[in-house]
């Protein structure tokens, strides 16, 4: 095994493990916390987690097998099923990200009317569209036998037809697919999140003005406190930019090399380096490992839910924990009784 194959195999193993663990953790938080289930974005996150879990359990292990063995993983029908799932799940996850960006844009730009604009019924309609959109492209590819094992990516995915007419039709299909998924979602992400960033910067400026006016009025304030306030202003501005850059940047970095390679592959007859194809596919897979952190686990609500789950597990794992709590409770109640008796026994004037 070459060094490049070993490195790609290790990269795929890390992506699979991180993706499975992080998405399962998001699913546990969703089932554990009733507040998360009540929120409209929770439906989009649940759909995104579902797609990432299936992708991590179906396509990624077969790609790892293809890299390690340089062979066709499974039979032809099995590979077609996996290729169908790969197209459907990837498209569905992209559209789920677009739905999340629209939801956040409405929540930030129209905070007072958010609950009237975005309801659970609207989220269900949006999810139904994502499923219909994804199924339509996947079914067309499956019916025209455009899914199978692709040697360049060492995975079961979309592949070219053999006849010249089929290649032309496949090129049109590929261009339309990536235009209505990758390109469309990229535009939606940029437009919505940049508007969110504009609103966030506007609020930061208002807070900065109020802070500076307060600092001017407080003449006797210590210089260290003034310096901390100015540093907090700078961190507040950087925090908003960093979050928006993360949302857009992870999508672009993970999917752009793969999409560009698929499009260039349609018009170039010279073969690509197989390591490059597997690397592009691995980057696309890595989005499934990044999504739980970008959209869920780094948020305060999910972090608090995770800490609650861990604390509950630790309490259950300690056999003497409940006994100690009961003893401490009994001691506390005994002290309260003693204090009450002392108060009653005091002589009154």
- Please write the tens of the pLDDT for every residue from 225-239: 656 766 776 676 777
Closest by CA position to 19, among listed 48, 41, 44:
48
**Stated pTM of the model:** 0.82
How far apart CA 340 and CA 17 sit, in angstroms, is 59
What are the tens digits of pLDDT across the range 77-90?
A: 898 999 999 999 99
**Which residue segments constitute the domains of the chain, with CATH numbers given?**
1-305 (1.20.1070.10)
Is pLDDT of 248 > 60? yes
What are the tens digits of pLDDT across the range 190-204?
A: 999 999 988 877 766
The sign one gets for the Cα dihedral 90, 92, 98, 103 is: negative
Query: Please, what's the b/e burial string for 199-238 (b: 16 or more CB within 10 A of its CB; e: otherwise)?
Result: ebeeebeeebeebeeeeeeeeeeeeeeeeebeeebeebbe
Share of the chain above pLDDT 70, in %: 79
């Amino acid at each position: 095994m070459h060094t490049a194959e070993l490195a790609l195999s290790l990269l795929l193993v890390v992506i699979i493990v991180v993706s499975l663990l992080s998405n399962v953790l998001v699913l546990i938080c969703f089932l554990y916390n009733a507040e998360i289930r009540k929120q409209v974005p929770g439906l989009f996150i649940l759909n995104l987690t579902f797609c990432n879990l299936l992708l991590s359990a179906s396509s990624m292990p077969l790609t790892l097998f293809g890299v390690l063995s340089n062979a066709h993983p499974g039979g032809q029908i099995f590979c077609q099923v996996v290729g169908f799932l790969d197209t459907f799940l990837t498209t569905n996850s992209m559209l789920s990200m677009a739905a999340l960006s629209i939801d956040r844009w409405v929540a930030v730009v129209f905070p007072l009317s958010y609950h009237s604009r975005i309801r659970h019924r609207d989220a269900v309609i949006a999810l139904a569209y994502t499923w219909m959109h994804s199924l339509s492209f996947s079914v067309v590819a499956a019916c025209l036998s455009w899914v199978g094992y692709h040697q360049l990516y060492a995975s079961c995915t979309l592949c070219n037809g053999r006849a010249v007419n089929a290649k032309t039709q496949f090129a049109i299909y590929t261009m339309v697919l990536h235009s209505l998924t990758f390109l469309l979602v990229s535009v939606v992400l940029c437009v919505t999140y940049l508007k969110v960033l504009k609103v966030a910067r506007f609020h930061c400026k208002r807070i900065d003005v109020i802070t500076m006016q307060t600092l001017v009025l407080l003449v006797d304030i210590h210089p260290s406190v003034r310096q901390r306030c100015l540093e907090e202003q700078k961190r507040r501005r950087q925090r908003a930019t960093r979050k928006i850059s993360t949302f857009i940047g992870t999508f672009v970095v993970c999917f752009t090399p793969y999409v560009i390679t698929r499009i260039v592959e349609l018009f170039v007859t010279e073969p690509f380096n197989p390591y490059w194809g597997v690397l592009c596919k691995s980057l696309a897979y890595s989005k499934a490992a990044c999504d739980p952190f970008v959209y869920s686990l780094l948020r305060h609500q999910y972090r608090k839910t995770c800490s609650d789950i861990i604390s509950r597990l630790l309490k259950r794992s300690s056999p003497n924990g409940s006994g100690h709590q009961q003893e401490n409770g009994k001691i506390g109640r005994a002290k309260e009784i003693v204090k009450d008796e002392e108060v009653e026994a005091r002589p009154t004037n």
